[in-house]
Amino acid sequence: MQIHTISTQLFAGQKPGTSGLRKQVQVFQQAHYLENFVQAIFDTLEGYAGKTLVLGGDGRYYNRNAIQTILKMAAANGFGRVLVGHNGLLSTPAVSAVIRQYQAFGGIVLSASHNPGGPEGDFGIKYNISNGGPAPEKITEAIYARTQSIRSYKILAADDLDLARLGTVQVADMQVEVIDSVTDYAKLMESLFDFDRINQMFKSGAFQMRFDAMHAITGPYAKAILEQRLGAAGMLLNCTPLEDFGGGHPDPNLTYAKDLVDILFGADAPQFGAASDGDGDRNMILGAHCFVTPSDSLAVLAANAHLVPGYKDGLAGIARSMPTSAAADRVAAALGIDCFETPTGWKFFGNLLDAGKATLCGEESFGTGSNHVREKDGLWAVLFWLNILAVRQQSVGQILREHWARFGRNFYSRHDYEAVPSEGANRLIDSLRNRFGILPGQRFGDYEIEFADDFSYTDPVDQSFTQQQGIRIGFVGGSRMVFRLSGTGTAGATLRLYLESYSADSATHNLDAQVALADLIKIAEELAGIRQHTGRDQPTVIT
């Protein structure tokens, strides 16, 4: 087997976003495109010779091709061992768990998360460091800089490997070990949750749930854990991973998981419903005729963590992304622990978790997790809810209502305007930014603007500074709205509008969030000119 050095050309735009490099499949299929980025990762790293790399993806179209290429490049660049998921499959949280369990040097995750798949869909790649979490900005910036100067890459001339067979094979000077995709992750979950108690809840016959894997990577994990170990037989949907996710959009929200939503809001609804996304790191939680916002979900998990074996000794702290509601802040205050507000992107939680400052973390974009890995974890959140339900023996709705009665309710919603013209979206943000000095004091009906700024963050662990993370408009009394351009799409821009209003009055707590936030929604249009800048009369997705 020979190592070849291949001359290449530069590609513009290989800048990783909040979750790595995401582009349409056709972009990645260009000659040298994937190889350039992988070589840029390896060129940026130091001290990996002879070390272990973890490799896996969500099974979307082009995953199989990319896995084979990366294995040959890892061998050519001097890695000593690669742990690769069976058939190239590993959920994103499972990659993190495997990195941590085997003390690997790092890992490469192949996924575009919740974006559509198939030949006309999206593909993505990101690098995770030795703590199991996404590479911090100093590394992703170095990778991007390298993509702008790279002239060649190294690859081994070798046949493709059979990834359907578990076990170890030698590839030149590197070992490739094909591991079961589920086993290590399932053992970790069993160490955190009371599987016996959850199993008894299912055995009673009175408890029913539906879990929708959306034809994505969580399917095999759900089959092994929810069905085979916990007894949720016949309660799982769409558990066969498909390269195009069955033609669906693997984003677990009220719009794209409509079939599940219809079941939970229909006649004879089961007590509990949940879904996960393309790579298994996101979750949606539902009760019978009840939707739990991700912000409320984080707060409820934190308030009930003492009921779960892995967290019964208490929480060091809670961390949430800036656009996520302040519901978790109220729980943290009651528990006497810190609540950290970070930019969007799971990498910002890594330092807090490593330093022991936080135990639970969450983002409003359907991501929740803890210090068990360094990624958000969809199935973990589902198991956490099941553990709480098994102990409290109440419905999801009852748990929510009791939570709001104790802490008050943060009415919250996110309005997504997907694939809008980038120029118009940028103009909207710039227009708001240019008015920071004149917005405070302006009144809109009963609402008076208290402050307007662009969120920045100084990491309390390493003092790194991150700026321009979202436009915040705060009102007297605590209501707020946030305007932010997402870094997870691949076509045009995604404008996200976040709206939040707090009420301690239990008489209001059963209001629909869109009704409770109706005045803020109108003010957002008046302030930002969303129709004018995006050409859209309404959001693509409301959650």
CB 449 within 8 A of CB 524: no
pLDDT for 1: 75
Point out which residues pair with 174 in neighbouring strands.
171
For the chain, what percent of residues have pLDDT higher than 90? Answer: 94
Average pLDDT of span 41-63 = 97
Q: Decide if pLDDT at 348 tops 80.
A: yes
pLDDT for 303: 98
Tell me the domains of the chain and their CATH numbers.
3-181 (3.40.120.10), 185-407 (3.40.120.10), 409-542 (3.30.310.50)
Other CB atoms within a 10 A radius of the CB of residue 187 amount to 11
The one-letter amino acid code at 115 reads: N
pLDDT digits (tens, 9 = 90+) for 510-525: 999 999 999 999 999 9
Q: Decide if pLDDT at 196 tops 90.
A: yes
* Cβ contacts of 534 within 8 Å, gap of 6 or more: 417, 420, 421, 424, 425, 428, 495
Q: Decide if pLDDT at 383 tops 60.
A: yes
Q: Decide if pLDDT at 297 tops 90.
A: yes
Average pLDDT for the chain: 95
Output the CA torsion sign for 159, 160, 165, 170: positive
pLDDT for 17: 83
- Distance of alpha carbon 122 from alpha carbon 114, whole angstroms: 10
pLDDT band at 384 (very low <50, low <70, confident <90, very high): very high
CB 36 within 8 A of CB 14: yes
pLDDT digits (tens, 9 = 90+) for 232-270: 999 999 999 999 999 999 999 998 999 999 999 999 999
Closest CA to 65 of 147, 160, 206: 160
Q: Decide if pLDDT at 487 tops 90.
A: no
Task: Give the residue numbers annotated as catalytic, written as ranges.
Answer: 113
pLDDT band at 419 (very low <50, low <70, confident <90, very high): confident
- Distance of alpha carbon 347 from alpha carbon 25, whole angstroms: 25
What is the enclosing helix (H) or strand (E) of 50?
none
Output the CA torsion sign for 185, 190, 192, 198: positive
pLDDT for 97: 98
Average pLDDT of span 110-129 = 96
pLDDT for 173: 96
pTM: 0.93
pLDDT for 490: 54
Average pLDDT of span 125-150 = 95
DSSP of 429-450? HHHHHTTTTT-TT-EETTEEEE
